Chain A
Amino acid sequence: MDFTFTEEQQMMAGAFRELTDDLCAPAALRAAFEGRGESSAARWQRLTELGLPGMLAPESVGGMGLTLADFILIAEAAGRAALPETLVEHAGIAVPVLSALSADARGAAVLQAAVSGEARVAVSHPFNPFIVGADQATHVLVLTDHEVHLLSKDEAKLEGHQSIDALRSLARCTGSLQPGTCIARGAGASAATALAFECGALLTAAECAGLCDALVALAVSYAAERSQFGKKIGAYQAIKHQLANVQVKLEFARPVLYAAATQATVLSGRSRFGVSHAKLAATDAADLAGRTAVQVHGAMGYSWEVDVHFYLKRALGLTGMWGDRSFHMRRVQQQLFSEHLAIGPDALFGVFKELP
Chain B
Amino acid sequence: MKIGFSAAQEQFRNEVATWLAEQLSGPYADLRGVSSHTAMVERRRVWEAELGRARLSSVGWPVEWGGRGASLAEQVIFAEEYARAKAPSRLNHLGVELLAPTLLSYGTEAQKTRFLEPIVMGKEIWCQGYSEPNAGSDLANVATRARLESGPNGDEWVIDGQKIWTSLAAFADWIFVLCRTEEGSRGNRGLSYLLVPMHQAGVTVRPIREMTGHAEFNETFFTGARTAAANIVGAPGEGWKVAMATLAFERGVSTLAQQMDFTNEFEALVKAAQANGQATDPLIRQRIAEASIGLSVMRYSALRMLTNAESGALSHEAFTYRLYWGVWRKKLGELAMDVLGPSGEYAHGDSPLAHDLQHMFLFSRSDTIYGGTSQIQRNQIAERALGLPKEPRGN
Contacts and interface: CB of A to CB of B under 8 A. Distances in A.
B366 to A, nearest CB: 4
A230 B369 contact: no
Contacts of B374: 295
A58 B344 CA distance: 37
B162 to A, nearest CB: 14
A304 B210 contact: yes
B115 to A, nearest CB: 27
B131 interface: yes
Interface string B299-332: 0000000000000000000000000000000100
A302 interface: yes
A324 interface: yes
Interface stretch (B65-73, B234-242, B249-257, B334-342): B334-342
B345 A298 contact: no
B341 A230 contact: no
Nearest to B379: A238
Given A302-B365, A303-B211, A304-B213, A325 B345 contact: no
Interface string B362-388: 000110111001110011000000000
Nearest to B358: A164
A132 B223 CA distance: 48
B208 interface: yes
A231 B365 contact: no
Interface in A250-301: 287, 291, 294-295, 298-299, 301
A163 interface: yes
Contacts of B358: 164
Contacts of B137: 228-229, 298
A284 to B, nearest CB: 11
A236 interface: yes
Contacts of A316: 337, 344-345
B153 interface: no
Given A299-B136, A299-B366, A312-B211, A230 B165 contact: no
A37 interface: no
A299 B342 contact: no
A298 B373 contact: yes
B330 A162 contact: no
Contacts of B283: 325-326, 329
Given A228-B136, A304-B211, A324-B342, A299 B391 contact: no
Contacts of A26: none
Contacts of B378: 238
A302 B340 CA distance: 22
A239 B391 CA distance: 13
Contacts of B138: 228-230
A302 B211 contact: yes
B346 A163 contact: yes
B165 A299 contact: yes
Contacts of A130: 342-343, 345-346
Contacts of B281: 326
Nearest to A287: B334
B53 interface: no
A129 B369 contact: no
Interface string A311-324: 01100110111001
A319 B341 CA distance: 9
A161 interface: yes
B375 A236 contact: yes
Contacts of B136: 228, 298-299
B211 A324 contact: no
A295 B345 contact: no
Nearest to B135: A228
Interface string A43-75: 000000000000000000000000000000000
A170 interface: yes
Interface in A107-164: 128-130, 161-164
Interface in A310-355: 312-313, 316-317, 319-321, 324-326, 329
Contacts of A325: 283, 338
B284 interface: yes
B369 A238 contact: no
A162 B347 contact: yes
Contacts of A227: 134, 394
A8 interface: no
B208 A295 contact: no
Contacts of A329: 283
Nearest to B374: A295
Nearest to B370: A299
B292 interface: no
B343 A129 contact: yes
Most chain A beta-carbon contacts within 10 A, residue among B131, B379, B393: B393
Given A229-B393, A230-B395, A299-B131, A163 B208 contact: no
8 contacts: A161-B347, A229-B138, A231-B394, A295-B375, A305-B208, A321-B345, A324-B342, A326-B278
Interface of B: 131, 134, 136-138, 141, 164-165, 208-211, 213, 217, 278, 281, 283-284, 330, 334, 337-338, 340-348, 358, 365-366, 368-370, 373-375, 378-379, 391-395
- Ranked nearest first, the 5 interchain pairs of A and B with the lowest CB-CB distance are A230-B394, A230-B395, A320-B342, A162-B347, A309-B211
